Structure 1
Amino acid sequence: MVLRSRRRLRPRRRAAVLAAAATLLLAPALVSCSDDGGSGSGQSGTTAPASASGPADPVAAKAEITRNWTAFFDPKTPLNERIELLENGDKMAPVIGAFAADKTAGLASAKVTGVTFTSPSGAEVTYDLLVGGDTALPDAKGTSVLQNDTWKVSVKTLCGLVQLSGAQVPGC
């Protein structure tokens, strides 16, 4: 019987995640979701590691990506730290702030389940988006970019979560 009640909550939790993403729509007039028309390349300020197919130290890079994604999606992470963990975060501060202030977003977190490098400064990230500890969006796909010597959550990923609500935000 407990399992059945959890299953009934799952659609509600998914709706909660979508509602949290919709909260980001409050700030479209304040900021654009992208620095370059939505490409989210993240190439500004990148460091070119030695390998053409991935970073010079993929083990360390994967650990940093996992750590930074977990912190970015952790509601306990201070706003100024989240800004540092998002590609072009200074431009996205109002959007991040609106998202962080939402009660539903306060229940959301991410668990990185896989990282595949696409270039020395880019990676595809597979993650589970959790709400209240339950998986709301399993095997979600996002990207991470190396910007200013830090692996960050890409603007494309954040904009993808915004678009889950079905709304359009300028620049996303």
Structure 2
Amino acid sequence: MVIAMAHTRHSRGAVWAAAAVLVLGPLAVGCSDDSDSGSATSPTPAATSPASPTEGAGPADPAAAEDQIEESWDVFFDPSTTTEQKVAVLENGEELRPALAAFSGDQNAAAVGAEVTGVEFTSPTEAEVTYDLLVDGVVVLPDTLGTAVEEDGVWKVSQKALCGLVSLSNDAPSVPGC
């Protein structure tokens, strides 16, 4: 945050908004929900509602799970990975394929990255993930909270984490699955 603040002189809210635009701009172009259900609710961003860890909770091999979580987050935020690879590391990836396809090839999305800085297991199949969101290698959202889930034997970026990012943008349309 110090680096981002020194260069931009923006408030934390402005940094959040800028990162959301860079991350979600492709979603606004590539995804829309033509249905008008009238009952859409806005998801709570993962960064504002962390789960409480349960004493002794965690997978049988926490070190291997943590490595797999870090790898999944690296793949998910790497602009050089294919949509197919991102589907494989996102909870309910097939359902969210249209949102992921919107990122493919977008120059703004290519500037965004993430670096996992911590993992805390809340159950054998869920974990809180602390990460820094980067734009062009500069940390714009430090200590962001997300979640990872074990799905079909693979630790993945949670659907809740993606939807939490989507909810940060007032301009983003309703994303199917969020």
**What TM-score, normalized by structure 1, do the two folds share?**
0.77
Other-structure match for 1:24:
27
Other-structure match for 1:107:
111
Other-structure match for 2:174:
169
Other-structure match for 2:122:
118
Q: How far does residue 57 in structure 1 lie from its aligned partner after superposition? A: 0.1
Q: Provide, for residues 73-127 of structure 1, a one-character-per-residue CA deviation record: whole Å limited to 9, x for no partner.
A: 0101111100100001011111011123322111001100000000000000000
Unpaired segments ≥5 residues, structure 2: 36-41, 45-55
For the pair 1:59 / 2:63, whether they are aligned, the reply is yes
Relative distance call for 1:5 and 1:157 in structure 2 (3 A) is closer
Matches within 5 A, 1:7-86: 7-8=7-8, 15-19=17-21, 20-26=23-29, 27-29=31-33, 53-86=57-90
Structure 1 runs of 4+ aligned residues shifted over 3 Å read 3-6, 9-16
What SS class does the counterpart of residue 146 from structure 2 fall into?
strand
Preserved CA contact (<8 Å) 2:33 2:173:
no
Alignment-mate amino acid for residue 19 of structure 2: V
Does 120-129 or 101-110 show the bigger shift? 101-110
Output the CA distance in 2 between the equivalents of 1:5 and 1:139. Answer: 15
Does 139-148 or 96-105 show the bigger shift? 96-105
Other-structure match for 1:46:
none
Unpaired segments ≥5 residues, structure 1: 32-36, 40-51
Identity of aligned residues (%): 43
Output the CA distance in 2 between the equivalents of 1:157 and 1:30. Answer: 23
Preserved CA contact (<8 Å) 2:4 2:138:
no
Relative distance call for 1:4 and 1:91 in structure 2 (3 A) is closer
Output the CA distance in 2 between the equivalents of 1:117 and 1:4. Answer: 29
Report how many residues are paired.
Answer: 154
Q: Provide, for residues 59-78 of structure 1, a one-character-per-residue CA deviation record: whole Å limited to 9, x for no partner.
A: 00001101110111010111
What SS class does the counterpart of residue 107 from structure 2 fall into?
coil
Alignment-mate amino acid for residue 25 of structure 1: A
Output the CA distance in 1 between the equivalents of 2:104 and 2:80. Answer: 9
For the pair 1:146 / 2:147, whether they are aligned, the reply is no
Q: Provide, for residues 12-54 of structure 1, a one-character-per-residue CA deviation record: whole Å limited to 9, x for no partner.
A: 87554221324323413289xxxxx979xxxxxxxxxxxx711
Other-structure match for 1:155:
159
**What TM-score, normalized by structure 2, do the two folds share?**
0.75
What SS class does the counterpart of residue 95 from structure 2 fall into?
helix
Other-structure match for 2:135:
131
**What is the Cα-based RMSD across aligned positions, in Å?**
3.1
Alignment-mate amino acid for residue 23 of structure 1: P
What SS class does the counterpart of residue 76 from structure 1 fall into?
coil
Alignment-mate amino acid for residue 174 of structure 2: V
Alignment-mate amino acid for residue 145 of structure 1: V
Preserved CA contact (<8 Å) 2:148 2:158:
yes
